[in-house]
Structure 1
Amino acid sequence: MRGANHSTGLSAGAGMGRRPVSRPTMTVSLVIPVRNEARNVAWVLEQITDDVDEIVLVDGNSTDATVIIAQSCRPDIRVVTQEGSGKGDALRTGFRAATGDVIVMIDADGSMAPQEIKHFLHFLSSGYDFVKGSRFIAGGGSSDITPLRRLGNKFLLRVFNSAFKAELTDLCYGYCAFHRRYLDVMALQATGFEIEAEMTVRAMQAGLRVTEVPSMEMPRRHGASNLRAFRDGIRVLRTVLRDHDRGVSGRVVQALAAEK
C-alpha cells in the first residue's frame, strides 16, 4: 500500500507532487445532503460563491419545506431524492448525480463555510487528488465539537495514522473535495456518518495524493445533529480497520465483527 503526500496547511502543499490542472477547465459540483434543514439551507446556499458550477441537493425525504426553500433561493439547483437512508447513502447518491470534474461535499446545517471551497480547489488544481478540511491545524478550529467527540476523533485518528502510516490531523470531518474520476477507485459503500472516514481510507489505499486545508467548524445554526458519538465512533473504527487483517488491527476487527 502506497502512502500519500500530506501537507499541514495552505502554503505547505504547494510544491509537493504537483500535477497541474488548468482551473478554467475544472468544473465543480457541490453535493449537499439534507433532511429537514428548512431553517438552515437558505443561509448555506446564499454563501456559495461562483467557484461552484453545479449544486446537487440530496433530499433524504424531508417533511418540512427544505426543498421548496432551496429551489426558491437557487432556481438552478439540482434536487435528487435519496432512496436509502443515512448520510453516507445520501452522499453516494449525490456523487453519482454530480457531473463536475471536481466534487465538493459540505453539510447543510451551516457549520461549514462555503467561502472555504476556494482553498480546496486551489490544491486540487495544484496536483492533489483528495483534499480534506481539518479543524486541528493552524487556521482551522471548531466552536461546535464537544469534549467527547474531540477525544473520540483523537483516538480514531491515532488508529488511522498508525494503520496507514499517515500524518493527518482530522478524520471525522465531512468537508472534503476530490476529482470525480476517482469515484470508481474509491468504491464507497458506507451508509452512515462513517462515510467520511471510508473516503479517506479508500483514498489512501488507492495511493491518491491527499492533503489537508484549515477549516473552521461553526455551530449548527438550528436544530439538533443526528450524530451519535459512541455508535458512530464504533462504525468509524470498523471502517478504518476493516481491510487490515494482521497484528493488533486484525484482532480488533475480528473482535468487533464478532459483536455484530
Structure 2
Amino acid sequence: MSTTLPSGTIQRTVDGGRPLRRASDRFAAPLPARRATDVPPVRHSVSLVIPAHNEARNVPWVFEQIPPSIDEVLLIDGASDDATVRMAAHCLPSVRVVQQAGIGKGDALRTGFEAATCDYVVMMDADGSMWPGEIPHYVHFLDNGFDFVKGSRFIAGGGSLDLTPVRSLGNLALLTVVNRIYHATLTDLCYGFCAFRRSFLDELDPHAPGFEIEAELIAHALRLGLRIAEVPSLELPRRSGRSHLHAVSDGRRVLRTLLAERPNGRHSAAAGAGKR
C-alpha cells in the first residue's frame, strides 16, 4: 500500500519496484465485519418499457442484452405488421406485450408507464441504438437517492455513433432553451434513455403524443424539483430499418412543448389551476 509523501520527498524503492515500508507508516483500518443484525440493502424492482413498431429485426439483439436483474419487460406494440410480437415472445417468453391503443411514441410510452408494476421504470428504444447493459448504472443512481436519471451522450464515457450534424445542432439549441428556462446544467436533451421512480409518475404527468415526450418528462422533472442525475450513454446506430424520427418537424414540436411547459406557460398554468 502506498503512502502519501510531502512534496519534494524522494521515494526510495526496492529493486525499482515497491516503496520501502517504514515503521511509522499508517494503514487504513479494516472494514468492520457484517453483523447478523445488520439490515441488508433494500432491492427495488425494475420495469423496462420498450415501445416498438415493426422492429422484428432489432428485437432479438435488444432482448439478448437485457440484464437478468430486470424484473419486468414490457413491449408496447404499435400495431406492428411484421413479426415484432412473435420475435419478442420467442426471445423472452416472460415478456409482457401490451397493445398500444393510440399512435405515436408518447402514447406508447404512456401506455407502458401505466402498465408497469415495479418500483423503478426504465424507458428505451427497440431499434438497438441503446445498450440495455447500461441499465444497472441508471438503477444505481436511483438506489442512491436520485428520482430521475437520464442518459447523456455528451459527458465523459458517453458518445454517439449515429448523431448527424442537423440532429446535433438541434439538440444543442433545444438544450440551451431548457437550461435557460429552468436554470439547469444538463448536457443532453433529445435522448430517450431514462429511468425514474414510478411513485413520481402521476406528478410527471406525461401527455405529449410523439417523440417530444422525452423532453416533456425532463421539463416536468426539472419543474418539480426532482433530483436528476445524468449518466454516460453511448448511442449506437439503428441496427436495421429506418428511423421514424424527423429532425426538423420533431424538433419544432419539442420546442413548442418546452415553451408551453415552462413555468407560467400555457400547460403549466392549466396544470396548476387543475390542482387548486
Q: TM-score range by the shorter chain?
A: 0.7 to 0.9
Report SS of the residue matched to 2:68.
coil
Q: Which amino acid aligns with 1:129?
A: D
- Structure-1 separation of matches of 2:41 and 2:233: 22
Q: Does 1:226 align with 2:244?
A: yes
Q: Does 1:68 align with 2:86?
A: yes
The alpha-carbon deviation at position 95 of structure 1 amounts to 0.3
- Partner of residue 201, structure 2: 183
Contact 2:219 2:261 in 1 (8 A): no
- Structure-2 separation of matches of 1:233 and 1:32: 22
- Partner of residue 153, structure 1: 171
- Partner of residue 236, structure 1: 254
- Structure-1 separation of matches of 2:226 and 2:261: 17
- Structure-2 separation of matches of 1:115 and 1:230: 31
Going from structure 1 to structure 2, the CA distance change for 1:151 and 1:234 (only over 3 Å counts) comes to same
- Structure 2 residue aligned with 1:124, among 142, 145, 155? 142
The alpha-carbon deviation at position 244 of structure 1 amounts to 3.5
After superposition, where does 1:192-211 map in structure 2 within 5 Å?
A: 192-211=210-229
After superposition, where does 1:38-53 map in structure 2 within 5 Å?
A: 38-53=56-71
- Structure-1 separation of matches of 2:108 and 2:119: 19
- Partner of residue 93, structure 1: 111
Normalising by the residue count of structure 2, what TM-score does the alignment of the two structures yield? 0.80
Structure number with greater CO (CA < 8 Å, separation at least 6) is: 1
Going from structure 1 to structure 2, the CA distance change for 1:23 and 1:154 (only over 3 Å counts) comes to farther
Gapped runs of 5+ residues in structure 2?
A: 1-39, 267-276
CA offsets 1:214-256 (integer angstroms, 9 cap, x no match): 000000000000100110001101111113377xx99xxxxxx
Aligned residues: 227
Identity among equivalent pairs (%): 60
Gapped runs of 5+ residues in structure 1?
A: 1-21, 251-260
- Structure-1 separation of matches of 2:174 and 2:104: 21
Going from structure 1 to structure 2, the CA distance change for 1:245 and 1:137 (only over 3 Å counts) comes to closer
After superposition, where does 1:8-47 map in structure 2 within 5 Å?
A: 24-47=42-65
Aligned Cα RMSD in Å? 1.4
The alpha-carbon deviation at position 50 of structure 1 amounts to 1.5
- Structure-1 separation of matches of 2:239 and 2:162: 10
Normalising by the residue count of structure 1, what TM-score does the alignment of the two structures yield? 0.85
Report SS of the residue matched to 1:25.
coil
Q: Does 1:110 align with 2:111?
A: no
Going from structure 1 to structure 2, the CA distance change for 1:235 and 1:23 (only over 3 Å counts) comes to farther
Contact 2:216 2:261 in 1 (8 A): no
Q: Which has the larger radius of gyration?
A: 2
Going from structure 1 to structure 2, the CA distance change for 1:92 and 1:245 (only over 3 Å counts) comes to closer
Q: Does 1:136 align with 2:154?
A: yes
Contact 1:51 1:117 in 2 (8 A): no
Q: Does 1:165 align with 2:192?
A: no
Report SS of the residue matched to 1:117.
helix
- Structure-1 separation of matches of 2:234 and 2:103: 28
- Partner of residue 253, structure 1: none
